[in-house]
Chains A and B, each alone.
Chain A
Protein backbone atom coordinates (compact mmCIF):
# COMPACT_ATOMS: atom_id res chain seq x y z
CA UNK A 1 0.00 0.00 0.00
CA UNK A 2 1.42 3.42 -0.92
CA UNK A 3 2.48 5.62 1.95
CA UNK A 4 3.89 9.04 2.68
CA UNK A 5 7.53 8.95 3.70
CA UNK A 6 9.56 11.58 5.54
CA UNK A 7 13.25 12.11 6.09
CA UNK A 8 15.04 12.42 8.38
CA UNK A 9 13.17 10.84 11.26
CA UNK A 10 15.04 13.04 13.72
CA UNK A 11 16.94 16.27 13.07
CA UNK A 12 18.96 18.15 15.64
CA UNK A 13 20.08 21.66 14.77
CA UNK A 14 21.42 24.75 16.44
CA UNK A 15 19.37 27.89 16.81
CA UNK A 16 19.74 30.14 13.77
CA UNK A 17 20.56 27.31 11.37
CA UNK A 18 18.52 26.45 8.31
CA UNK A 19 16.80 23.08 8.10
CA UNK A 20 15.02 21.31 5.29
CA UNK A 21 12.52 18.59 6.06
CA UNK A 22 11.72 16.24 3.22
CA UNK A 23 8.61 14.35 2.30
CA UNK A 24 7.64 12.04 -0.53
CA UNK A 25 3.85 12.16 -0.92
CA UNK A 26 1.76 9.39 -2.45
CA UNK A 27 2.28 9.59 -6.18
CA UNK A 28 -1.21 10.34 -7.53
CA UNK A 29 -2.13 12.84 -4.85
CA UNK A 30 -2.75 16.46 -5.69
CA UNK A 31 -2.80 18.25 -2.34
CA UNK A 32 0.09 18.47 0.07
CA UNK A 33 0.28 19.68 3.65
CA UNK A 34 2.60 20.32 6.55
CA UNK A 35 1.48 20.14 10.17
CA UNK A 36 3.43 20.26 13.39
CA UNK A 37 2.94 19.08 16.94
CA UNK A 38 4.83 20.69 19.77
CA UNK A 39 5.30 18.19 22.59
CA UNK A 40 2.13 17.93 24.64
CA UNK A 41 0.12 20.20 22.35
CA UNK A 42 -2.31 19.80 19.49
CA UNK A 43 -1.39 18.97 15.92
CA UNK A 44 -1.40 22.35 14.14
CA UNK A 45 -1.80 23.14 10.47
CA UNK A 46 1.07 25.02 8.84
CA UNK A 47 0.48 25.13 5.08
CA UNK A 48 -1.28 23.49 2.18
CA UNK A 49 0.03 23.31 -1.39
CA UNK A 50 -1.80 22.65 -4.63
CA UNK A 51 -0.96 23.14 -8.27
CA UNK A 52 2.55 24.31 -7.39
CA UNK A 53 1.50 27.08 -5.09
CA UNK A 54 0.46 27.66 -1.50
CA UNK A 55 -3.33 27.39 -1.18
CA UNK A 56 -3.57 28.23 2.51
CA UNK A 57 -1.21 28.98 5.38
CA UNK A 58 -1.55 29.55 9.10
CA UNK A 59 -0.26 32.39 11.24
CA UNK A 60 2.61 30.14 12.27
CA UNK A 61 3.84 29.96 8.67
CA UNK A 62 5.72 33.25 8.59
CA UNK A 63 8.59 34.44 6.39
CA UNK A 64 10.96 31.99 8.06
CA UNK A 65 9.10 29.08 6.48
CA UNK A 66 8.88 28.05 2.85
CA UNK A 67 7.69 25.02 0.92
CA UNK A 68 8.70 23.62 -2.42
CA UNK A 69 7.93 20.73 -4.69
CA UNK A 70 11.18 20.79 -6.64
CA UNK A 71 10.93 17.73 -8.84
CA UNK A 72 7.34 16.49 -8.91
CA UNK A 73 7.92 13.86 -6.24
CA UNK A 74 9.48 15.50 -3.19
CA UNK A 75 7.77 18.10 -1.02
CA UNK A 76 10.00 20.08 1.30
CA UNK A 77 9.59 22.41 4.25
CA UNK A 78 12.42 24.85 4.87
CA UNK A 79 12.95 26.82 8.04
CA UNK A 80 15.49 29.55 7.33
CA UNK A 81 16.65 30.45 10.81
CA UNK A 82 15.44 28.03 13.44
CA UNK A 83 14.29 29.13 16.88
CA UNK A 84 14.02 27.10 20.05
CA UNK A 85 10.23 27.21 19.74
CA UNK A 86 10.41 25.45 16.36
CA UNK A 87 11.23 22.22 18.20
CA UNK A 88 8.34 19.91 17.34
CA UNK A 89 7.26 16.88 15.37
CA UNK A 90 6.58 17.90 11.77
CA UNK A 91 4.11 15.84 9.76
CA UNK A 92 3.71 15.86 6.02
CA UNK A 93 0.39 14.78 4.51
CA UNK A 94 -0.99 14.31 1.03
CA UNK A 95 -4.44 13.71 -0.38
CA UNK A 96 -6.61 13.87 -3.47
CA UNK A 97 -10.11 14.13 -2.01
CA UNK A 98 -11.60 14.01 1.45
CA UNK A 99 -8.81 11.99 3.03
CA UNK A 100 -5.35 13.11 4.04
CA UNK A 101 -2.60 10.55 4.48
CA UNK A 102 0.13 11.36 6.95
CA UNK A 103 3.79 10.46 7.07
CA UNK A 104 5.51 9.22 10.24
CA UNK A 105 6.90 12.66 11.05
CA UNK A 106 10.29 14.30 11.55
CA UNK A 107 11.22 15.22 15.08
CA UNK A 108 13.06 18.55 14.97
CA UNK A 109 15.10 19.52 18.00
CA UNK A 110 16.56 23.02 18.09
CA UNK A 111 19.30 23.56 20.69
Chain B
Protein backbone atom coordinates (compact mmCIF):
# COMPACT_ATOMS: atom_id res chain seq x y z
CA UNK B 1 0.00 0.00 0.00
CA UNK B 2 0.91 3.67 -0.04
CA UNK B 3 3.17 5.10 2.64
CA UNK B 4 4.97 8.34 3.47
CA UNK B 5 8.12 8.73 5.56
CA UNK B 6 9.26 12.07 6.96
CA UNK B 7 12.51 12.94 8.61
CA UNK B 8 12.66 12.56 12.35
CA UNK B 9 11.95 15.67 14.35
CA UNK B 10 11.75 17.93 16.11
CA UNK B 11 13.70 20.49 14.09
CA UNK B 12 14.95 23.62 15.84
CA UNK B 13 16.34 26.53 13.83
CA UNK B 14 17.29 30.15 14.30
CA UNK B 15 15.40 32.81 12.40
CA UNK B 16 16.62 33.25 8.80
CA UNK B 17 18.13 29.76 8.69
CA UNK B 18 17.57 27.42 5.74
CA UNK B 19 14.98 24.72 6.22
CA UNK B 20 14.77 21.25 4.70
CA UNK B 21 12.28 18.62 5.81
CA UNK B 22 12.76 15.36 3.98
CA UNK B 23 9.83 13.32 2.70
CA UNK B 24 9.91 10.09 0.73
CA UNK B 25 7.02 7.99 -0.41
CA UNK B 26 5.98 4.58 -1.65
CA UNK B 27 3.03 4.39 -4.01
CA UNK B 28 1.76 2.61 -7.05
CA UNK B 29 0.92 4.62 -10.13
CA UNK B 30 1.24 8.38 -10.17
CA UNK B 31 0.32 9.91 -6.82
CA UNK B 32 -0.28 13.55 -6.04
CA UNK B 33 1.88 14.97 -3.25
CA UNK B 34 1.09 17.56 -0.60
CA UNK B 35 2.55 19.43 2.34
CA UNK B 36 0.16 20.42 5.11
CA UNK B 37 0.98 22.66 8.06
CA UNK B 38 -0.66 22.67 11.48
CA UNK B 39 -0.22 25.74 13.66
CA UNK B 40 -0.84 25.38 17.40
CA UNK B 41 -4.53 24.90 18.16
CA UNK B 42 -5.56 24.86 14.52
CA UNK B 43 -6.42 22.31 11.85
CA UNK B 44 -4.28 21.12 8.97
CA UNK B 45 -3.83 23.73 6.24
CA UNK B 46 -2.71 22.89 2.74
CA UNK B 47 0.69 24.51 2.21
CA UNK B 48 1.53 23.35 -1.30
CA UNK B 49 0.94 20.54 -3.75
CA UNK B 50 2.32 18.86 -6.87
CA UNK B 51 0.29 16.56 -9.03
CA UNK B 52 2.85 15.14 -11.45
CA UNK B 53 6.54 14.37 -11.69
CA UNK B 54 8.91 17.39 -11.83
CA UNK B 55 6.16 19.76 -10.70
CA UNK B 56 7.28 22.30 -8.13
CA UNK B 57 4.76 23.40 -5.53
CA UNK B 58 5.35 26.72 -3.81
CA UNK B 59 3.62 28.95 -1.30
CA UNK B 60 4.67 31.50 1.34
CA UNK B 61 8.35 31.01 0.49
CA UNK B 62 8.15 27.23 0.85
CA UNK B 63 8.95 24.96 -2.10
CA UNK B 64 8.90 21.25 -2.85
CA UNK B 65 9.66 19.40 -6.08
CA UNK B 66 8.04 16.09 -7.03
CA UNK B 67 10.97 13.77 -7.81
CA UNK B 68 9.73 10.49 -9.20
CA UNK B 69 13.22 9.05 -9.67
CA UNK B 70 13.99 9.38 -5.95
CA UNK B 71 10.33 9.13 -4.78
CA UNK B 72 10.82 12.31 -2.77
CA UNK B 73 9.05 15.59 -2.07
CA UNK B 74 11.35 17.50 0.27
CA UNK B 75 10.12 20.78 1.75
CA UNK B 76 12.49 23.76 1.67
CA UNK B 77 12.49 27.38 2.70
CA UNK B 78 15.40 29.74 2.29
CA UNK B 79 14.86 31.86 5.40
CA UNK B 80 12.52 30.74 8.16
CA UNK B 81 10.66 33.04 10.51
CA UNK B 82 9.43 32.54 14.05
CA UNK B 83 5.90 32.44 12.63
CA UNK B 84 6.81 29.27 10.67
CA UNK B 85 6.92 27.30 13.92
CA UNK B 86 4.36 24.53 13.40
CA UNK B 87 3.98 20.85 12.59
CA UNK B 88 4.53 19.95 8.93
CA UNK B 89 2.93 16.89 7.33
CA UNK B 90 3.85 15.33 4.02
CA UNK B 91 0.98 13.47 2.36
CA UNK B 92 0.09 11.66 -0.83
CA UNK B 93 -3.02 10.74 -2.66
CA UNK B 94 -2.87 7.66 -4.85
CA UNK B 95 -3.19 8.06 -8.58
CA UNK B 96 -6.44 7.48 -10.41
CA UNK B 97 -8.78 9.91 -8.68
CA UNK B 98 -8.68 13.52 -7.63
CA UNK B 99 -10.69 12.95 -4.47
CA UNK B 100 -9.22 9.83 -2.84
CA UNK B 101 -7.92 9.49 0.70
CA UNK B 102 -4.71 11.11 1.86
CA UNK B 103 -1.89 9.07 3.37
CA UNK B 104 0.19 11.12 5.81
CA UNK B 105 3.69 11.02 7.16
CA UNK B 106 4.24 11.23 10.89
CA UNK B 107 4.70 14.99 10.98
CA UNK B 108 7.76 17.08 11.77
CA UNK B 109 7.70 19.68 14.53
CA UNK B 110 9.54 22.85 13.55
CA UNK B 111 10.52 25.42 16.15
CA UNK B 112 12.15 28.67 15.03
CA UNK B 113 13.89 30.84 17.63
CA UNK B 114 14.48 34.60 17.24
A98 touches B51 (CB 8 A): yes
Within 8 A of A (CB), among B82-114: 89, 91, 93, 98-107
Instruction: Tell me if A4 and B43 are in contact (CB < 8 A).
Output: yes
In the complex, are the beta carbons of B49 and A99 less than 8 A apart? yes
**Assembled-state Cα–Cα distance A33/B102 (Å):** 10
User: Is A56 part of the contact surface with B, judged by Cβ < 8 Å?
Assistant: yes
Query: Of A41, A56, A105, which one neighbours B43 at CB under 8 angstroms?
Result: A105
Interface check B62, CB cutoff 8 A: no
Whether A102 touches B44, Cβ cut-off 8 Å, given contacts A43-B89, A97-B98, A97-B99, is: yes
Q: A97-B98, A98-B51 are in contact. Are A45 and B43 (CB under 8 A)?
A: no
Counting chain B CB atoms within 10 Å of each CB, the highest count among A33, A91, A101, A102 belongs to: A102
Chain A residues within 8 Å of B26, by CB: none
Chain B neighbourhood of A97, CB < 8 A: 98-99
With contacts A33-B101, A97-B98 taken as known, whether A102 is within 8 angstroms of B51 at the C-beta atoms is no
For the complex, give the distance between the alpha carbons of A44 and B49 in Å: 19
- Report 23 cross-chain contacts, Cβ distance below 8 Å, ordered by A residue: A30-B99, A33-B101, A42-B104, A42-B105, A42-B107, A43-B44, A43-B102, A43-B104, A44-B104, A45-B101, A48-B101, A58-B101, A91-B44, A95-B99, A97-B98, A98-B32, A98-B49, A99-B46, A99-B49, A101-B46, A102-B43, A104-B41, A104-B42
Which residues of A pack against B, CB within 8 Å? 4, 6, 30-31, 33, 35, 41-45, 48, 50, 55-56, 58, 91, 93, 95, 97-105
Question: Which B positions have Cβ atoms within 8 angstroms of A?
Answer: 32, 36, 41-46, 49, 51, 89, 91, 93, 98-107
9 further interface pairs, Cβ-Cβ under 8 Å (given A43-B89, A102-B36): A42-B104, A42-B106, A42-B107, A95-B99, A98-B49, A99-B49, A100-B102, A103-B43, A104-B41
